[in-house]
Structure 1
Amino acid sequence: MHVYHDLTLADIVNVKVLQEIQDKFSEATGLAAVIVDSAGQPVTKPSNFTRLCNLIRSTPEGLSRCIGSDDCGGRMAARQLCPSVYRCHSGLTDLGAPIILNQQHLGGFLAGQVVLPQNGIDIASEVLKGVADLNLDKTTVLEMLTEIRVVPEERVKAAADLLYIMTNYIVEIAMANIAQTQLMSEMKSKADLEKVLRETELKALQSQINPHFLFNTLNTIARLALLEGAPRTQEVVYALSDLLRNNLRNIDEMVTVGEEVQYIKNYLLIQETRFGDRIQASINIPEELMEQRIPFMTLQPLVENAIIHGLEPKRYGGNINISGQMQGNQVEIMITDTGVGVNKAQIERIFRNEKRLAGKGQTSGLGITNVHKRIQHYFGLQYGLEICSGEQGEGTTVKICLPYGFDETSS
C-alpha cells in the first residue's frame, strides 16, 4: 500500500473542486465550513463564517488559535477515523471529519461555529473568557454572539454524518487522480521502452495499444470514478494494468488461445466501458481449442481493427463475435463484426502490404499483414488470414487458419 508522504491535499484534488464541495455543504446545512490541510492551514476560502469568528480571526493571536483548534479537531477525527464534535478555543461547537488516503492524514473537512443548547452553562461568559486577551470590544463580541445559531445536538450529529460522506467523496476523487497520474507515468515508461524495442517491423505490433487508446481509457476511468463506486473503476484499472503488463511480453513468444482470449477480454472490457451499448462483444471458442498454441498478439490487432474501422464509424455501433472451430486437422478462429465492411480493393491492398493511414492512430492494414506473416512464419504458407466482406455496410469476417495441435518445440 502506497503512502504519499510528499503529496498534499491540494496536490491531488483541484482546489476549485474542493471549494465547490464545501460551498454546497455550507449552503445545504447553514453551517460555516472550511477544508484544511494536515497542519490545520486552510486550503479553501471559508464558507458562511460567522461575524464573531471572522472578528476573532482578524487578530494574529486569534487566527493562530483558530488554526491550532482546527488542527486539533482534524487530528482528533483522524485518530477516531470518524467525525468528531468538539469545542473550539472560544467556546463554540465545531465538527470535523478526517481526509485520509492510504493511512496518510491529508487534512480535514471542518464545519460548525454553532452553539448547543446549554443546561445551565453561561456560554457568553465562556466566550468572553476565551477571547479576553485579544483586545476585542466586549459589547461587539456579545452582540455578534447573539447571531450564532443554537443547533440541537441531533442536528449536529446528522451534519457530522453528512460531513463524513463528503470527505469520503473527496478521498475517492483523490484516489482517481492518483491512479490517473500513475497510469500516465506508466504510459511514458512504456513508450520509452517501445522506442528501444521497435527495431523490426514485427516489434511494431507492441505499439498497438497506443497513446490514443490509453488516453480514452484514462478519461473513462476518471468518469467512472465520479459516477460510481470503486468496484467498477477497480475492474477497469485492473484490466488496463493486465493489458500493459502483457504488452511488454516478447512479441516472438507463443501463447495459448486461452491466454489470448483473456487478453482480449480485458481489452473488450475497456472498450465496452468506453463505448457503452454501442458495442456488444461475445466470445465462443470451444474449450478443447483453448490450449492451441498461437503467436502472441494475434487476436488483439484484429479485434481492435474491427472496432475502430468497422464498428466505431457506425452511429449505433454494432456487434463483434470471436469464435472458433475445428475443420479437419485445421483450427479456424473467426473475428466477425457487423461494421461498415471493406471492399475487395481494400482487401487486396492489405495483402499487398501497402501502408495506409490508420484513421485515428489505430491498427491499420499493416497490423493485419504482420499477423498474417507471423502465422505463415510459424506454421507455413498454407496458413494465415482470410478476409471476407459483403458489400459496404454488411460487416467483415477475418478468419485465422492454424494447424491443430502445433508443438513449437518441434518446429
Structure 2
Amino acid sequence: MQNYKRFVLSEIVNTQILQEIQDKFSETTGISAVVVDADGKPVTRPSKFTEFCDYVRSFPIGLARCMACDDRGGRAAVERQRPVVYHCHGGLTDFAAPIIVQNEYVGALLAGQVVLPQQGYDAKEEMFNRLLPAGMDTAILSDLFDKVAIIPENRLKAAADLLHIMANYIVEMSVTNVVQQQLMEELKAKAELENLLRAAEMKALQSQINPHFLFNTLNTIARLSLLEGAERTQEVVHSLSDLLRNNLRAIEEMRTLEDEIKTIDDYLTIQKVRFGDRIQAAIAVPSEFLKTSVPAFSLQPLVENAIIHGLEPKKEGGHIRISGHTENDNIVIRVSDTGVGISEDRIGAIFRNEMRSRKGHTTGLGVINVHKRIQHYFGDQYGIHIESRIGKGTDIYITLPPSDYR
C-alpha cells in the first residue's frame, strides 16, 4: 500500500559529493557550474561563476531572469533527453544537462557562462540589447563581459557530456539507496504487523478450548434461564455466546462496521451487568457508514481499553460514546470516554509498541494492533489518532478511506 513520494533532489543525493565533483569540473575546464532542482533553485553552491554573472545577479530583475533562464534550459534538456547548449538572457552561452530519475525530472546541471565563437553572432552586442533596459551600468557590463572566457563549441559539448554522465550516475546510486531503505522499512513494518497478528491469534487460540462444547454449554444455560424466568441472564448469555463466536473468527478477515457494532453491543451488554449504572454507553454511527469494510476487531479492543483503563478506575464511572462523521471525504469513527485520561508519554509509548501487560490486560496492544492493521489494508494516511486530557477523558479517532476507495 506504500506510495513513494516524488523524488526531491536535495533529499536523495549527497550534495557534498555533487559539490566536490562540480568544483573539480569547473577548476579543470574553467567553465562555471551549478546544480538546480526541478524548480530551478540551486542545490549546490555555484562554482567559478563569472564576475559578469555575479554583477547581473546582484540586481533583483537580473537574478529573476537568471533563475527563469536556468529553469527553461533544464526543461529543454529534459524534452530532448540530453544536454543542450543555449544562449542565456545575458547573451552568454550555457548548457543544461538533465538529471532524470525513473523517468522523472528532478533537476539539472547548468554550466557555461562563456562566449561561444559563432559566425554572424555578436555576443557583446546581444548582451547590451538584453541587459541595458534593466538599468545596469554600461561600463561595468562591458568591462566584466570582456573577462568572460571564449571556449570552442566542441570543448563545451564534451564538458557537458562528461558532467552529465557523472552527475546522473551519482544521483542514480543515491536513489537506489533511498529505495532500498524504503523497502527495508516496509519489510520491517510488515514483520511487526505479522508479529502483532500472531500475538492476537495466539490470544484467540488460548480461548478456543473446545468451542463447540463451550457454545453448547452456553446455549443450555440460556435455555435454563428462560425456563426459570431469568430473562436478563438469558440476554447476557446470548451476548457472551455471540461475542465469543465472533472473537473466534479469523483476525485477517474484513467485516462491516455493522458487524463490528453488533460485537460492541454484545460486549456492552455484558459490561453493563458488571458495572451497572457506573457505565453509560451510546452508539450513534450514521447508517450510511454501516456497510463500510474494516479489519475484524477494529472497535472492540478500543471500547475494552476505554472501559478497563479509562472508566473502571473512576469510582463514579462515566460515559462511553461511539460516533462517526466524515472529514476530507474520509470516514472517521470516534470512540470517546469520560475516563481518567492518558498522558502524552503513555500515548507515545502505545504507538512505539512499548506497553506491557497490566492487571491481566495488555495495555495498548489492542490499539497498536488496530492501527497497524488499518494501515496495512488502506495505507499510512489512515489509522488511529488519540487525544486525551488527564482527568477529563479520551477521544480515539479511527480514520478510514471513503467507501469508494475499496
Q: Give the TM-score, by structure 1 length.
A: 0.46
Q: Give the TM-score, by structure 2 length.
A: 0.46
Structure label with greater radius of gyration: 2
